[in-house]
Amino acid sequence: MDSALGAVSETGVEPGEGPGPADTGTAAEPPDRTWTVLIAALGGEGGGVLSNWLVDAASMDGRRVQATSVPGVAQRTGATTYYLEIGPRFDEGGSREGSDRGPPGTDSGNGALRSGPGPNPDAPPGARGQVMALLPTPGNVDLLVASELLEAGRAAQNGMITPERTTVIASTHRMFAIAEKSAMGDGRFNDERVRRAVSELSRRHVLTDLGKVAERAGTVLSSVLLGAIAGSGALPIARERLRGAIDRAGIAVEANQRGFDAGCRLFDDEASPPPDSRPAVDRERGQPAATSAAAGHRPSALAARVDALPEPVREFAGRGLERAVDYQDARYGALYLDRIEGLLERTASKRHAGPGSRGTEAAAPASPRPAAGGNGRANHATGEEPAAHHAVAREAARELALWMCFEDLIRVADLKTRRSRIERVRAEVRAKPGQPVAITEFLKPGVDEWCSVLPGWLARPILRAADRGGWRRRLNVGLHVRTSSVSGFLLLWTLARLKGLRRGMHRYREEQERIEAWLGHVADAYATSPALALETAKCANLVKGYGDTHERGVRNFERTMAAIAACRSAPEPAASLRALREAALADPEGTKLDDAIAALAGAPSRAESH
């Protein structure tokens, strides 16, 4: 690097400009320059292979190169970094002396302990060659390569991406960290923020799903990354020299060359942004298509009722209607619409007290991300009021559809015996057409599940006896059902046919009661504020899963509903309820929810604070 800091000059590339012709990139090389490369990767993503290629290419280019890593326990899922420093050419740069001691690439200088007695003579410093660091320093990274998006975010967080120097090549695909994926709801880190950090803090960048690029080229991520490095011109090494490293390593040469070319093109196309540079959905995300709940299943009379709904509610209501008809029948679809229309009516008729009372919170638009569900300031001009109750109905329509199509044995059997499902499984396991695939289901229905399909008068005494006898959780029948065989398929198929009897079943009755109660809470909450009603609607998300998980969800849901009254007297009712909901999703043991409810009870009430 230059001794005067900040005077780092690029090889003919100005910020924001396209890459210089990389093949001639060494022409104006300053004599005392070190290029630094930080590779942020996850175990098994080929960071080590990439590092070795770069070492090889730099050595062959007649440069001193040093690479270090902290592999640690990386192979065991952790994040890992590789760090490289690449010096000027021995035949051009300032450390010519170094080459006298050995062949190009020899670590001659930073080297030998001085032998011989006496204090250190004033050896010409040049004879020591370049002193390369083993650790990256923030503000001093020329090239950051991230094999996964979050790792680019981590580098930014650590100050390793700076506008003066850093070219960033980052793949936008996500490998979720354990905290993100084990959350009881949506714990994913906000991708958009990482993208913004990279694009705002870097000198130049490529952000694209390199995993996909690799897949299309039929190769692995590391070769695409090497190609992208070559294309970026961020290093002084010619493109063909970098490509040569793949040949010299001699492993999967052809496939890696394809990946290399694909990677190169990412920067070649930089002037006109490649179509995939900002993919709308991540690799992990599927196509936004309707699920197996057959699309277009809208009896025309009911479809007309959907069209009559306010515009914001229509989308979810339409999908919800299809779902309910698919789940049970047209009558069930009608019930679904009855409930939405009922909610709209009850909320539209509610009138809020004058300004200054409870109207400081308004419903924010529904969003799948928890971070986005904040409280906006309300505008109580009459023209704005309907939007608020539409927003509540929209969210309720979404949750109601999921709830009304609760997953009992019949539903599970139904979903698992559809043609679309078999096709989906075959695609997921990458089976070729005609290739035999055996599918085994793991079912373990217990007392609850069997009782759920019995009529209530039969189920209730059994459940009571089970609780008394302590075998409610114990008595499970483990079934391995092979749905790819005729007998296994028929078992589930027959189970699915029981849906005609569903209305008489214990679980059905129970769920309908809970649903009615919940809708009542939503409507009541609207009297306090639209925001509180929206939060109440969202609480339906607490009930999910099967077995113990479901039971715990119901328990948390009921405790949360019971606490609405306390929320109402809190200074910010909706925020209080949201805190409860988030606490209920914070840990499976319910500890956080206990704390939150206790805190709410002890909090100064709204009346007291006045």
Partner 1 sequence: MAERSFAKEVRTLALGDGDVFHGEGILAVAKALLQSGVSYVGGYQGAPVSHMMDVFNDAREILDSLGVHVETCANEAAACAMLSASINYPVRGCAVWKSTVGTNVASDALSNLASAGVTGGALIVVGEDYGDGASIIQERSHAFAMKSQVWLLDPRPSLPSMVRAVEKGFELSEASGTPVMLELRIRACHVHGSFATKTNRPPDFSSRRPLDGPRFDYERICLPPATYLQEQKKVKERWPAAVEFIRESGLNEHFPASGPDAIEDIGIVTQGGMYNAVLRALALLGFADSSGRSRIPMFVLNATYPLVPEEISGFCAGKRSVLVVEEGQPNYLEEAIGSLLRRADVNTNLLGKGPFPMAGEYTGEVVLRGVDTFLRDTLGHNAAPDRGVVGAVDDAKRRAAEILAAPVPGRPPGFCTGCPERPVFSALKIVQREVGEMHVSADIGCHTFATLPPFHIGNTVLGYGLGLASSAAITPHMGKRTVSIMGDGGFWHNGLTTGVASSVFNRSDDVLIVMNNGYTSATGGQAIPSTQIGAGANGSGGRGRVEVHFEESGPGASRTIESALRGVGVKWIRRVRTYSVATMVKTLRAALTGDVKGLKVIVADGECQLMRQRRYRPWFAKRLKEGRRIVRTRFGVDEDVCTGDHSCIRLSGCPSLTVKESSDPLRSDPVAHVNNDCVGCGLCGEVAHAAVLCPSFFRAEVVNNPSAWDRLLHGVRSRVIGALARA
Answer for which of 13, 39, 49, 79 binds partner 1 (CB under 8 A) is: 79
Binding piece for partner 1, criterion CB under 8 A, among 224-232, 398-406, 459-467, 515-523 = 398-406
| Nearest residue to 208 (alpha-carbon basis) of 279, 261, 281, 286 | 279
* Least distance (Å) between residue 565 CB and partner 1: 26
Answer for which of 388, 553, 560, 570 binds partner 1 (CB under 8 A) is: 553
Answer for which of 302, 443, 532, 600 binds partner 1 (CB under 8 A) is: 443
* Least distance (Å) between residue 192 CB and partner 1: 10
Number of residues that bind partner 1 (CB under 8 A): 167
> Per CB under 8 A, which of residues 325..384 are in contact with partner 1?
368, 371
> Going by C-beta distance under 8 Å and a sequence separation of 6 or more, which residues neighbour residue 282?
172, 173, 174, 191, 209
- Phi-psi category of residue 564: left, alpha or beta, with phi > 0 → left and psi -120 to 50 → alpha: alpha
* Least distance (Å) between residue 603 CB and partner 1: 25
Answer for which of 20, 60, 92, 110 binds partner 1 (CB under 8 A) is: 110
Structure tokens at 197: 């950090």
> Per CB under 8 A, which of residues 201..240 are in contact with partner 1?
201
**Alpha-carbon span 188 to 81, nearest angstrom:** 22
**Alpha-carbon span 276 to 224, nearest angstrom:** 15
Answer for which of 106, 277, 360, 569 binds partner 1 (CB under 8 A) is: 106
CA distances from 515 to 314, 335, 401, 584 (A): 20, 12, 11, 19
Binding piece for partner 1, criterion CB under 8 A, among 75-83, 217-225, 252-260, 572-580 = 75-83
Residue labelled with tokens 């300031």: 377
Nearer of residues 77 and 379 to partner 1, judged by Cβ: 77
CB 247 within 8 A of CB 253: yes
Nearer of residues 156 and 519 to partner 1, judged by Cβ: 156
Count CB neighbours of 73 within 10 A: 10
> Per CB under 8 A, which of residues 477..536 are in contact with partner 1?
478, 480, 483-486, 489-490, 493
425 binds partner 1 (CB under 8 A): yes
Task: State the binding string over 248-277 for partner 1 (x if CB under 8 A, else -).
Answer: ------------------------------
* Least distance (Å) between residue 90 CB and partner 1: 12
Q: What is the 3-state secondary structure (H, E, C) of 517-544?
A: HHHHHHHHHHHHCHHHHHHHHHHHHHCC
107 binds partner 1 (CB under 8 A): yes
Answer for which of 102, 218, 500, 604 binds partner 1 (CB under 8 A) is: 102
Nearer of residues 41 and 600 to partner 1, judged by Cβ: 41
Answer for which of 67, 264, 313, 515 binds partner 1 (CB under 8 A) is: 67
CB 184 within 8 A of CB 146: no
> Per CB under 8 A, which of residues 17..56 are in contact with partner 1?
32, 34, 42, 51, 55
Binding piece for partner 1, criterion CB under 8 A, among 129-137, 263-271, 573-581, 602-610 = 129-137
> Per CB under 8 A, which of residues 153..182 are in contact with partner 1?
153-154, 156-159, 161-162, 164, 175-182
Residue labelled with tokens 């936008």: 172
Nearer of residues 181 and 601 to partner 1, judged by Cβ: 181
**Alpha-carbon span 46 to 147, nearest angstrom:** 9
Q: Give SS3 for 498.
A: helix
CA distances from 374 to 377, 531, 575 (A): 10, 9, 8
196 binds partner 1 (CB under 8 A): yes
CB 476 within 8 A of CB 444: yes
* Least distance (Å) between residue 496 CB and partner 1: 8
Q: What is the 3-state secondary structure (H, E, C) of 234-287?
A: CCCCCHHHHHHHHHHHCCCHHHHHHHHHHHHHHHHCCCCCCCCCCCCCCCCCCC
- 151: part of which helix (H) or strand (E)? helix 149-157
Nearer of residues 538 and 568 to partner 1, judged by Cβ: 538
Answer for which of 28, 253, 281, 353 binds partner 1 (CB under 8 A) is: 281
137 binds partner 1 (CB under 8 A): yes
Structure tokens at 122: 């004033």
> Per CB under 8 A, which of residues 555..594 are in contact with partner 1?
588
Answer for which of 17, 23, 186, 307 binds partner 1 (CB under 8 A) is: 186
**Alpha-carbon span 376 to 575, nearest angstrom:** 11
Binding piece for partner 1, criterion CB under 8 A, among 115-123, 260-268, 554-562, 595-603 = 115-123
**Alpha-carbon span 41 to 43, nearest angstrom:** 7
Binding piece for partner 1, criterion CB under 8 A, among 251-259, 334-342, 439-447, 523-531 = 439-447
433 binds partner 1 (CB under 8 A): no
Instruction: List the beta bridge partners of residue 484.
Output: none
